Chains A and B, each alone.
Chain A
């Protein structure tokens, strides 16, 4: 069974204090790993897709990386507007197209 574990559950940073969020996964044949951002009371917003180990994607202060067992979302010099829950999801190669397995997310709070 596909599994996604995100850590930490919650992270509080000061503005400008860089850090990383972790997404560990167990999946039979990874097709893709996805990062989403979810603001309170809203639906998730797609950030990145990573397909293979060694791949990196960047968007503003965020950089996502992928290894064979985990993915990291690095946040450089965060701002209060980066506060949100960050979700990780995987799609297995053996499964049909519809199925994503989501983690519980990391709640990031950036204080000014």
Chain B
């Protein structure tokens, strides 16, 4: 069973605030990802990491930043939130294999920026 946790599950904040979405996994997976999902729309990759101190931007441009200081932890930060950042953010991880379509997802963090 997958063990990947996201906090907070729901967050409502005002414009201009700094927020950090936490993601932790206990499976020892090297690869971790952040996806963004809007209602009725596709998942879009915004950040990924192949391991400690490795982070890359995904397909969808995002003003958020990520860090990977420990294998199990992959937080996402928005320095100054705006209403356009309102979305569902999903964290995922996978084993280090050639085919990385088998992802384990967290339950998501739903962000609302007023």
Contacts and interface: CB of A to CB of B under 8 A. Distances in A.
A91 B45 CA distance: 13
Interface string B45-67: 10010100000101100000000
B92 interface: yes
B101 A89 contact: yes
B102 A46 contact: yes
A89 B105 CA distance: 14
A97 B100 contact: yes
A44 B105 contact: yes
Interface of B: 6, 31, 33, 40-45, 48, 50, 56, 58-59, 90-92, 98-108, 110
Nearest to A89: B101
A94 interface: no
Q: Which of A89, A102, A103 has most chain B Cβ within 10 Å?
A: A102
A83 interface: no
13 contacts: A31-B99, A41-B107, A41-B110, A44-B90, A46-B103, A46-B104, A98-B45, A100-B43, A100-B45, A100-B100, A103-B42, A104-B41, A105-B40
Contact of B101 (A4, A91, A104): A91
Contacts of B41: 104
A34 B108 contact: no
A4 B108 CA distance: 23
A49 B99 contact: yes
Contacts of A101: 42
A112 interface: no
Contacts of A103: 42
A51 to B, nearest CB: 8
